[in-house]
Amino acid sequence: MLTLIKREIISFFASPIGYLVIAIFLIINGLFLWVFSGDYNILDAGFADLSPFFDLAPWILLFLIPTVTMRAFSDEKKMGTLELLLTKPISLSKIVLGKYFGATILIIIALLPTLLYIITISNLGSPTGNWDVGSTLGSYIGLLFLIFAYAAIGVFASTLSQNQIVAFIIAVFLCFILYYGFEGLASMNTALGIEGFGMKAHFDSVARGVLDTRDLIYFASIAILFIGLTVLRLQKEQ
């Protein structure tokens, strides 16, 4: 499986995809947080806080992660190499996990440079070094688990069509529904009380700096569910 993960990562950086994903993620975040005026601009807020970044990042990743995962199996189908891949002396679950971890590692690499924001916030604080450690670390952990869930959804979507654009659209739709859909419906009718089924409610809970195992189990369950669905989908095509 490690060989497959390495192959996936190398393939990302052998083409412009890996570099584009990292560059786009950092540029969009940088522009909204430090350049464009508005609710997300940290300098305009008047206090050193990274909460605008954690409000913005899930929405950017909602589109960016499907861009990475859309080619996972749809490309294999289109090129006719899926059958060859499935005949290799490696279990189907390991093939899926190899594709999955390859995508998640790329996104985590894109996330790493944002740790520099912490240094910036620390220097902007008054006094210097005055920043909310618990909330920031909790938000990064929440973002990490959100990446795990998004990537699993994206890999599953890539098995539904050999057209990468179709796979991308399906992944974005599923990620949106599971991230904000339940909260959106709950805001229309407060009597429903279904916001707890969505990823946003659990992400916001972790972002407060209190790690509740129920929130982490929720994200892990979403990831395991869609990885399992991916395996089942590919088993039908064997």
- 185-195 per-position pLDDT tens digit: 877 766 667 77
d(CA 37, CA 53): 14
Sign for the CA dihedral angle at 215, 45, 115, 149 comes to positive
d(CA 118, CA 200): 23
- pLDDT above 90: residue 123: no
Q: Which two tokens stand for residue 69?
A: 């995962």
Residue with tokens 């990620």: 175
Torsion, Cα 79 83 84 88, to 10 degrees, reads 140
| Domains contained in the chain, number | 1
d(CA 169, CA 148): 19
What's residue 212's pLDDT? 85
The predicted model gives 195-221 an average pLDDT of 89
Average pLDDT, the chain: 88
pLDDT in tens, 60-79: 999 999 999 998 898 877 77
Domain that holds residue 57: 2-236
pTM above 0.75, yes or no: yes
d(CA 164, CA 78): 9
